[in-house]
Structure 1
Amino acid sequence: MRADSPSSTPQAPETSTALAEHCDALFSPGSPLQEELPQWSVREGQRELAMAVAGAIADRAILMAEAGTGTGKTLAYLVPALLHGGRVIISTATRNLQDQLYNKDLPAARRALGAAVSTCVLKGRSNYVCLYRLQRAAEWVHGRHAHTQLRRITQFAKSDARGDLSALSGLEENSALNFLLTSTTDNCLGADCPDYKACFVMKARREALASDVVIINHHLFFADLALRGEGVAELLPTADTLILDEAHQLAEIGVQFLGARCGTAQVVDLSRDVLAGGLQHAKGLADWQTLSGALERAARDLRLAAPQNPGRLSQPQVLDLPGWDVALHDLQAQLAHTAEVLSAHVEAAAEFERLMDRCTALHQAFSSWQAAPDPEQTDAPPQVRWADVGSAHLRLQAAPLSIAPAFAALVAQRSQAWIFTSATLSVGGSFRHARAALGLTPEQGGCAPVEGGAAPRCRELRVASPFDYAEQGRLLVPQDLPLPNQPGHSESVGALAAQLAMGNTGGTFVLTTTLRAAKIIAQTLRALLPGRAVLEQFDESKAALLARFASTPQAVLVGSQSFWEGVDLPGDRLTLVIIDKLPFAPPDDPLTAARLKQIEAEGRSGFTDYSMPQAALSLQQGAGRLIRTESDRGVLVVCDRRLTATGWGRQLLTSLPPFTRVSQTAEAQAFLQGTK
């Protein structure tokens, strides 16, 4: 949580006419924005977007706005929101984007407007040091490096006012240490915590409730709607304007949280808290070491019942695993036994009652996931159950196939302005897919028609990128590679990538649809490009890999899903993007399979109504990594000839920026080397 410049008096909202006139002047020649933002220039698309946002805010309407890369959409929504006044909530896709908004974009807009508003960043509790758990962490930390990091974090917690771990440089993003030092809704002691008054999470919530502009992320937005535990639910009713940036991710992120989940990581965390609490409050009254160890072993045995390789399994696949029933039975028996031991000593500490509740809740969660759906619950929204298998842990999830009903109800019951924006929201020029995914249609109830000739509450706007893609970029679709389902495809992609990267003066991205393909392609590149830096996903954290890539001339990075979007590497840092195949979701993925089945049952085409739009949006995002400024040049290679050889492929082709097509590898090489 970061707060800045508290204002004693909230800014009075501008009228609709005044707001439109003010925005028009600010995004026209002679604007005062030029003084504060030397790089700013008049862009008709940015002005058009700002005017549409201003109108939606003034009318408390719903706006879906697609703004092509380079439009300057952040400033286009910040300026009218700040001018209008009132409380503004901005939600974006990642914590990094939150920090960019808070540290760069929002201060610039405030300075340009002279806006006296208080601003803050609010993140989920897993981003803040838990002072109570920090005191216990030494019991679980092993190794010199981990102890060194623990000392750094301890000193940081003493000196930093906010306790946001992102402010501590050199800390690994997915470090196991972070899990030990932060709280969850399960293990938080709430008002019973001895550090409650100094708690960084509670400070963050209090400051958010007192701020005019609050920056959150989509994970926190949905987690809070589901759990009512992070402070966002208290903020929503007070907001005049809600801006959801990177809105193309909302539907998928929402599914993760609007269901139920439980996993072995929660059990391991519980086992450690049982040991710590037992030794602190009831030492000698039970064999806490043995109790904790048995619970942790039961959790690990359940993980070992699943395949070794990470992936996703459907519920039937999980139930058919050899040894699954025995492992789950043993885990639940151990949870029940742990609760019994705790109940015998509950008078020793209030913490024991919370630990008992966690045992019971986890026991129930595992049972509910395992059980067959209740056939009498005919009014319940369709659900799908699956298991996410990680390298060390297993998570069981049950989720609705769509967030549309829940999200439509949320939007319909709140009269605030809702601004949905992204560089990729439409498919084939239509917002139909995005609106349906969020329930923003009259039929779904999230966008009721307006009577009496008034301006519609649901509005749409598409603003093209100002970039000259035909001049700045080239598109190559090789015709001589094996098809993606044929043997040797990934090896051939790796060989072509090596050939192109060899003569590329800038950086190269190879974006894959699977981790298996990423590994094969990376191995091929290393063999064919000795001495060249070839970086592979999971070698390091994403942030560390991108930092190395950006600082290493002519580096090659091979990555899957997480590198397809949210990466901004302008100039020579990235001049070649290679996509291994068209990004259709695997049909055997449990969530995808369940959605396709439901669509087909409704008499519609799963391929046309789901697979194609999803692939188009993903393809747009991957291609969007290439050209980031007016001076960038680069080549996009899609190693899947179905893009040009099939009718549906040519439909996907229209979703790409209008790069100039080349048919030969030599033409792409010449463009990369600046000779053509």
Structure 2
Amino acid sequence: MNTVFRHFAESEEKDLLIEASTGMGKTIGYLLPAAFLATPENPLIISTVSILLQHQLIDQDIPLLNRLVDQPLYATVVKSKSHYIDLQRFKATLESPVQQKQYALYQMGILVWLTQTTTGDLDELNLIRLDHLLFQEITHRGIDYLSAQQPFYQEDFLRHLQKRMAQSNILIINHAFLAQETQRSQPLLPESHYLLIDEAHHLPETMEKVSKHYLDTFAFQRKVHQFHEEGQLFDQIENMLKDDAESLRLFSLYQEELQAIIECQEDLLSEWFTDWPLQEEVILQAEQREKLPLSGEKEIQRLLLYYQELLSIQSQLNEYLNTISDAWLDRQRVYFGEFLSFYEEMKTQASFMNDWLTNWSSAYVHWLYLYGNKKTARLQLIDFQAAILPNTSWYERYDKIIYLGGTLKVPKNRNYFAKKLGIPEAPLKVIPQTYNYEQQAKLLITSDDVKINELSNNKYADYLAKNLTILLENTTQPALVLFTSHEILQKVYKKMHQHFLSKGREILAQGMGGSKEKLLKRFIQSKQSILFGADSFWEGVDLPGDALQLLIVTRLPFENPNRPLIQARNYYLNEQGLDSFSQESLPKAALKLRQGLGRLIRSEKDKGLMILFDRRIVTKSYGKRLEKALPKELPVQEATIYEMKQLMEEFLQNP
């Protein structure tokens, strides 16, 4: 609390990293100083990792603090435009509805919800997915697409959001929203003295993820084909232009340019990737770009020229449509909005293709997934320098920034996290842990002399299934089993689930039984299930009380070095003169191992046992660095599988 206040109010440093374990009251620790410092002119902007945590802040934490202080916090959750309903677009769907039962049911539900909502945030509907056609037709496209002549202009939810933002001294966003500020032509967030990034260990990954631009040429072709269907967008635009011969000529030329772009994309892919493997992810290197024959070079120049011509034509069409917009019906305004939206999409696509085809900086990765016909593909451009904060447009807009997280420190690489963000000199303050790991937790490491990295996938799955069955049979203790491979997870699940089901115990598996949230809910309710998880289950799983006391880690959480993207990252780091294993792979594995333990111990009352089926933490030279990433008070013991079962029962039975 004092650390936060002093940095924001007194420090001359811009950046401060704070490592604080979960359960220490860190949220109140930064909200209380905000009550004395933040104003609508200089709001505290809080960035957290997820929408769920955004709402937890405004629904639970801030109301709690406001009961304790005389200077209340006025907070607003801020999300990107697509989270909000556009009333004008929704009205148009009521006037020309799709004849589909689910479409009508969603419309009825939204009509009821509109009598209750004050924000227009579609997340309030609590739907698992918002990819139904109706939601594509009613999500907001932004303030620029509104017209003051529209009947719902004054009631527009995005305009009201902007007004609330101007009156609030706390703005709550997520990391993705913050990262997207760099991509916006105009920032949506105000300048301020104060920015606090909670769950900051997620920031580099999110920054990189947001920087990933992609184009799926198959999906693009399908969209254009749908626009040409009777009654769809292009048919409607043509009807709106019918009274102007020159505009009709331009629109016909526009459609020809679109078709030329599609054909040129196909020709280029066929020319470049004739001998490449199908349906595999591939990283394209600069050397392969240089080997492209002259005919391929001509295709590139032709494609980029088509994009320029297309955008020029659409810009002219937009100008003409604007001049006749006063006479339109509401539905015609919606079609024009869709046409403008497609224009922005094509500008983005043109920029992406220019970068993908011409930018061969070592920091950029050109990723390709070629579909079966070799004429369509999914292309991605990934920026390994996306997390370098001084390169972003928003970093300089904040005078003081605090980065708060549970796992920011790595043994023998204390400024690992700061270096990833491009602020290597930023100080790191570690708040001492309050947990008694000596009494609350224990780590058991297998003593079996099995070199798991030398086993085939099938034999490794057999090994895990056998040992997990020995450990978990004849117990009712709920267990979380963490994997580093979805393939191995599924193989082990298939070998075990029927056996345990016959004994009245369910195994829940990521990717095989619904969303992460659904699996966690079933796991908590059953009180004796076994949950197999990978990736996101290593962290961000908040299980209350005694819902989880047994964590089994099947393998040290190193990234698969054979994945093309990991190989490209390692190549990039080596080009920078860095050892990719010690500077990236090892620190990431150490942090992930700590995060795994964090699933067990989240309060001073928790108790938990962690079991590791990977002896490399003992036998390899890097093992000590991994072990040092764990709390030094954590008891560690090696044991056979049968000794583990006995120790597990003794530990968990003792209060």
TM band (smaller chain): 0.7 to 0.9
Contact 1:427 1:617 (C-alpha < 8 Å) held by counterparts: yes
**Residue 614 of structure 2 corresponds to residue 640 of structure 1:** yes
Partner in structure 2 of residue 167 of structure 1: 124
Contact 1:336 1:359 (C-alpha < 8 Å) held by counterparts: no
**Residue 72 of structure 2 corresponds to residue 97 of structure 1:** no
**Residue 532 of structure 2 corresponds to residue 558 of structure 1:** yes
Partner in structure 2 of residue 108 of structure 1: 64
Q: What is the distance in 2 between the residues matched to 1:358 and 1:247?
A: 32
Alpha carbons of 1:573 and 1:404: their partners in 2 closer, same or farther (altered >3 Å)?
closer
Contact 1:484 1:581 (C-alpha < 8 Å) held by counterparts: no
- Determine which of 413, 417, 423 is the counterpart of 2:406: 423
Matched to 1:666, the amino acid is K
Aligned positions of 1:327-338 closer than 5 A = none
Deviations 1:427-481 (A, max 9, x none): 0175311110111135xxxxxxxxxxxxxxx432112321222212221222335
What is the alpha-carbon root mean square deviation over aligned residues?
A: 4.4
Alpha carbons of 1:145 and 1:473: their partners in 2 closer, same or farther (altered >3 Å)?
farther
**Residue 383 of structure 2 corresponds to residue 400 of structure 1:** yes
Q: What is the distance in 2 between the residues matched to 1:257 and 1:525?
A: 38
* 1:175 CA drift (Å): 4.1
Instruction: Tell which has more relative contact order, 1 or 2 (C-alpha 8 A, sep 6+).
Output: 2
Partner in structure 2 of residue 368 of structure 1: 354
Matched to 1:382, the amino acid is A
**Residue 506 of structure 2 corresponds to residue 533 of structure 1:** yes
Matched to 2:353, the amino acid is S
Q: What is the distance in 1 between the residues matched to 2:598 and 2:53?
A: 16
Q: What is the distance in 2 between the residues matched to 1:561 and 1:425?
A: 19
Q: What is the distance in 1 between the residues matched to 2:477 and 2:395?
A: 49
Partner in structure 2 of residue 624 of structure 1: 598
Matched to 2:363, the amino acid is P
- Determine which of 529, 534, 544 is the counterpart of 2:518: 544
Contact 1:124 1:230 (C-alpha < 8 Å) held by counterparts: no
* 1:247 CA drift (Å): 0.6
**Residue 461 of structure 2 corresponds to residue 478 of structure 1:** no
Aligned positions of 1:343-492 closer than 5 A = 347=320, 350-351=336-337, 354=340, 357-358=343-344, 360-365=346-351, 367-373=353-359, 382-387=363-368, 396-403=379-386, 405-407=388-390, 413-414=396-397, 416-428=399-411, 430-442=413-425, 458-480=426-448, 481-487=450-456, 488-492=459-463
SS in 2 for 1:364: helix
Moved more, 111-120 or 174-183: 174-183
Aligned positions of 1:136-147 closer than 5 A = 144-145=101-102, 147=104
- Determine which of 478, 481, 498 is the counterpart of 1:507: 478
Moved more, 74-83 or 335-344: 335-344
* 1:365 CA drift (Å): 3.9
Q: What is the distance in 1 between the residues matched to 2:509 and 2:262?
A: 32
* 1:389 CA drift (Å): 9.3
Alpha carbons of 1:144 and 1:520: their partners in 2 closer, same or farther (altered >3 Å)?
farther
* 1:122 CA drift (Å): 0.6
Partner in structure 1 of residue 44 of structure 2: 88
Partner in structure 2 of residue 655 of structure 1: 629
Q: What is the distance in 2 between the residues matched to 1:192 and 1:316?
A: 50
Q: What is the distance in 2 between the residues matched to 1:66 and 1:430?
A: 14
Partner in structure 2 of residue 584 of structure 1: 558
* 1:272 CA drift (Å): 5.8
Alpha carbons of 1:132 and 1:434: their partners in 2 closer, same or farther (altered >3 Å)?
same
Partner in structure 1 of residue 184 of structure 2: 227
Partner in structure 2 of residue 14 of structure 1: none
- Determine which of 59, 67, 85 is the counterpart of 1:129: 85
Partner in structure 2 of residue 199 of structure 1: 156
* 1:629 CA drift (Å): 2.1
SS in 2 for 1:402: coil
Q: What is the distance in 1 between the residues matched to 2:36 and 2:99?
A: 53
Partner in structure 2 of residue 523 of structure 1: 494
The structure with the larger Rg is 2
Q: What is the distance in 1 between the residues matched to 2:262 and 2:92?
A: 21
Moved more, 176-185 or 488-497: 176-185
Matched to 1:254, the amino acid is M
Deviations 1:375-421 (A, max 9, x none): xxxxx78322225899xx97533233123544367687356221101
Contact 2:480 2:530 (C-alpha < 8 Å) held by counterparts: yes
Matched to 1:527, the amino acid is Q
Partner in structure 2 of residue 667 of structure 1: 646
Q: What is the distance in 2 between the residues matched to 1:423 and 1:59?
A: 24
Contact 1:246 1:422 (C-alpha < 8 Å) held by counterparts: yes
Alpha carbons of 1:142 and 1:675: their partners in 2 closer, same or farther (altered >3 Å)?
farther
Partner in structure 1 of residue 172 of structure 2: 215
Contact 2:389 2:395 (C-alpha < 8 Å) held by counterparts: no
Contact 2:82 2:139 (C-alpha < 8 Å) held by counterparts: yes
Contact 1:498 1:528 (C-alpha < 8 Å) held by counterparts: no
Contact 1:627 1:633 (C-alpha < 8 Å) held by counterparts: yes
Contact 1:270 1:358 (C-alpha < 8 Å) held by counterparts: no
State percent identity of aligned pairs.
24
* 1:273 CA drift (Å): 6.6
Partner in structure 2 of residue 118 of structure 1: 74
Partner in structure 2 of residue 52 of structure 1: 3
SS in 1 for 2:452: coil
Matched to 1:492, the amino acid is Y
* 1:177 CA drift (Å): 5.0
* 1:66 CA drift (Å): 0.4
Partner in structure 1 of residue 586 of structure 2: 612
Q: What is the distance in 2 between the residues matched to 1:591 and 1:199?
A: 43
Alpha carbons of 1:178 and 1:381: their partners in 2 closer, same or farther (altered >3 Å)?
farther
Alpha carbons of 1:431 and 1:245: their partners in 2 closer, same or farther (altered >3 Å)?
farther
* 1:342 CA drift (Å): 6.7
Q: What is the distance in 2 between the residues matched to 1:95 and 1:389?
A: 34
Count of residue pairs brought into register by the alignment:
595
* 1:151 CA drift (Å): 3.1
Alpha carbons of 1:294 and 1:576: their partners in 2 closer, same or farther (altered >3 Å)?
farther
Deviations 1:90-145 (A, max 9, x none): 00011111111111112112221232231111112232223344456688978644
Matched to 2:441, the amino acid is G
Matched to 2:172, the amino acid is I
Partner in structure 2 of residue 452 of structure 1: none
Q: What is the distance in 2 between the residues matched to 1:240 and 1:365?
A: 34
Alpha carbons of 1:373 and 1:299: their partners in 2 closer, same or farther (altered >3 Å)?
closer
* 1:535 CA drift (Å): 2.0
Matched to 2:283, the amino acid is S
Contact 2:314 2:343 (C-alpha < 8 Å) held by counterparts: no
* 1:341 CA drift (Å): 9.5
Q: What is the distance in 2 between the residues matched to 1:499 and 1:484?
A: 22
Moved more, 399-408 or 79-88: 399-408
Alpha carbons of 1:361 and 1:620: their partners in 2 closer, same or farther (altered >3 Å)?
same
Contact 2:83 2:123 (C-alpha < 8 Å) held by counterparts: yes
Contact 1:71 1:464 (C-alpha < 8 Å) held by counterparts: no
Q: What is the distance in 1 between the residues matched to 2:400 and 2:454?
A: 46
SS in 2 for 1:630: coil
SS in 1 for 2:653: coil
Contact 1:584 1:612 (C-alpha < 8 Å) held by counterparts: yes
Alpha carbons of 1:352 and 1:52: their partners in 2 closer, same or farther (altered >3 Å)?
closer
Contact 1:503 1:669 (C-alpha < 8 Å) held by counterparts: no
Deviations 1:628-659 (A, max 9, x none): 22222222122221112112022111212443
Contact 2:356 2:366 (C-alpha < 8 Å) held by counterparts: no
Contact 1:129 1:164 (C-alpha < 8 Å) held by counterparts: yes
Matched to 1:575, the amino acid is Q
